Structure 1
Amino acid sequence: MTYFYIKALHIIFIITWFSGMFYIPRLFIYNTEANEKTGVEKEVLQKQFSIMMKRLWLGITWPSAILTLIFGTWMGFLYGGIPQWLMIKLCFVVALYAYHFSLQKIYSLQMKGIFKYTSQQLRVWNEVATIFLIAIVMLAVVKQGMSLVWGLAGLVLFIVILMSAIKIYKQLRK
C-alpha cells in the first residue's frame, strides 16, 4: 500500500519537474531575444524574465527534481529489485539530471547577464526534455514488452522528425 502512495508522489513531482524543464528554456529564449532590444524595452523585459526564471527554477523545478529523486529512490527500495528495463530507464534518468544541470548553467549565466547561446540554439535545447520524457515513459510503461532495438530506432526516428520540425519552423519564421 505504501508503495502506491510513494509512486503517486513520485509521478506528481516528475510532472512538475518536467513542467519546469519545458518552460525554463522558453524563458531563456525570450530573455535572449529581449537582450537584443534597446533602452527601456530591454530593461523592463529582462527584469520581468529574470523574476519569472528565478521563481520557476528555484521555486518549482529544483524542488521537484529533488523530490523526484527522493521518492524514486524510496520506490526503488520498496520495489525490491532492479530489472533490466529499470536499469535502462535509470540511465536515461541520469542523463536527464545532466540535462537539468545544463539548464542550471544557462540559468546562472543569464542571471548574470551573460548570453552564451542564440535563441535558435536554445530552441533546439528546449526539445531535449521531450526526448527524455518519451524514452523514460515508454520504458516505465511498456517495460519488457518493448524490444531494445525497436525502442532505440523509434527514439532516433522521433529525434530526426523533431529536429526537422525545428528547421522547418525556423524557415517559416523567416
Structure 2
Amino acid sequence: MSNKFIFFLIFILSSFIYILFGGIDNIERKSFESFYSSDRDIDYYENLNSRLDSLLKLNSNTPSQMNLLASRLLVDGNYDQASKVFDFYIFTYPEIVDTNVYSSYAESIYLANDMNFNDQITLLINESLYLDPSNYKALTLKGLNLYKEKKFNEALKNWAIALDSVETEDQKKSLIVVMNSALKKLEINKNKSTN
C-alpha cells in the first residue's frame, strides 16, 4: 500500500471516529462559538445577517445560546438582528419563554422601530407583564408608551412599580428622570386647566 492510501485511510477513519463520538453537533457548536466570539470588524457587520441566518439553521442550538446571542445583539445595538433571534427563540422554544424574553424582544423591536410603538410591541409587553407584573423592562416600556399618549398619571404608576424592581443605579436614575418629566407635564396641564 502506498503512503497516500494509508494517509487517506487514517484521515477517513479519524473523521469517522470524530463524528461518531464527538458528533456533528460539536462541529455546529463551533459555528456558534465562532459567531459569538468573533471580532467586531467591518466584515463582522457586513456579513452579520448571512452569518446569523446560517447559525439559526443549525439543529444544535440550545435555548441558552439563543437567549445569550439575542441579548448580546441587543446590547451591541443590532436591534433588527436581536429581534430576529428573539423571534426564533419564542417560535422554537415556546414552553420556556419567560417574562424577560418577552420584554427584551419588545425592547429590541421598539429600538429597531426608531423608538416608536406598534401592536406587536404592546402584545409582547402585555405577555411579559402577564408572567411577571413587576418586570422592570416591560413596565418601563409600557410607561414610555403611556407617556407618548400623554397619559402621564398611568405612566407614573407603571414607573413607580418598576422603580422597586430596578437592577442598577443607572436604571433607577433613568426612571427618576422620566418620572420627573411626567410630573412636570402634569403640572403644566394642571396650570393650563386652572387658567
Could you state the TM-score of these two structures normalised by the residue count of structure 1? 0.28
Q: Is the radius of gyration larger for structure 1 or structure 2?
A: 2
Could you state the TM-score of these two structures normalised by the residue count of structure 2? 0.26
- Higher RCO (Cα < 8 Å, 6 or more apart): 1
Between Structure 1 and Structure 2, the one with more helix by share is 1
